[in-house]
A and B are shown apart, each in its own frame.
Chain A
């Protein structure tokens, strides 16, 4: 149980990276967006749990879940989610052994950012259109 006396290699933390580089920025963003979605899962638990306790509890909890704070959380989580979704696919492509050349890393990174922005806009346009109906 005791800590080894020898200094073992440890994972580099944020300060070890030049955050202006797209390589490190997107890598760190992947973890951060994962954390944001972890927070979002609490809202999913609240939503499913409320429904399980019946219509009255569901209606009460939905007042909070559809408040401005709720919508703010969903917007933040949606940005994190779409980024993590596309960047996760980028990671899988790396796992298959493709895309490690710097031009490819930059191109796929920019593609992830563009797809994230596009999906956020389309998703929220649909949400707003549905709410307006």
Chain B
């Protein structure tokens, strides 16, 4: 999950030496949680992705009226919002892992990581609001 040099959430009972701690080396002990979230969002996408592709094949994107008819069904709106949450959360975690793996240097690494988080949250919120607005007939 990469070395998060700037994070301070370490376990005080850690056997890490104070020098290692001061230098920001070693695990920050948050990796397992992010790993689990990336797997849980992936598990969610196993049914949601085929549903989304099936919807597209059914012609929901054909025109605005078809989009509205599709998303005005509460079940479809729910599944689409869940799909958006899982996709962007999964993508955000994955993008940050790639940044921490390949970009070195605390300032650049943190900037790229924060940029990915912000971009994913902004896009997810916009997509969810769009889905609700279309579905409620805006």
CB pair A4–B87 under 8 Å, yes or no, is no
Instruction: Indicate which residue in B2, B107, B130 contacts A48 across the interface (CB closer than 8 Å).
Output: B130
CB pair B98–A123 under 8 Å, yes or no, is no
CB pair A49–B126 under 8 Å, yes or no, is yes
Interface membership of A102, Cβ < 8 A: no
Contact size class for A?
35 or more
The dominant DSSP class at the A interface is: helix
CB pair A55–B64 under 8 Å, yes or no, is yes
CB pair A6–B25 under 8 Å, yes or no, is yes
Contact size class for B?
35 or more
* B39, B68, B130 — most chain A CB neighbours (10 Å): B130
Interface membership of B117, Cβ < 8 A: no
Question: With A1-B5, A4-B24, A5-B23 in contact, is A38–B134 under 8 Å at CB?
Answer: no
Q: With a CB–CB cut-off of 8 A, which chain B residues contact A55? A: 63-65
Q: With a CB–CB cut-off of 8 A, which chain A residues contact B23? A: 2, 4-6
Interface membership of B30, Cβ < 8 A: no
Interface membership of B138, Cβ < 8 A: yes
User: How far is B44's CA from A60's CA once the two chains are assembled, in angstroms?
Assistant: 33
Beyond A38-B95, A51-B67, A85-B49, list 20 extra A-B contacts (CB 8 Å): A1-B107, A2-B24, A2-B106, A3-B5, A3-B106, A6-B23, A8-B3, A10-B101, A31-B98, A41-B88, A41-B123, A48-B130, A49-B127, A51-B130, A52-B129, A58-B67, A81-B49, A85-B46, A88-B42, A92-B39
Question: What are 12 pairs between A and B in contact, CB < 8 Å?
Answer: A1-B6, A2-B106, A3-B106, A8-B3, A11-B101, A45-B123, A48-B131, A51-B130, A52-B131, A59-B64, A62-B63, A130-B59
10 nearest A-B pairs in the assembled complex, by CB-CB distance? A52-B130, A11-B101, A55-B64, A4-B23, A48-B130, A58-B64, A52-B133, A51-B67, A4-B25, A51-B134
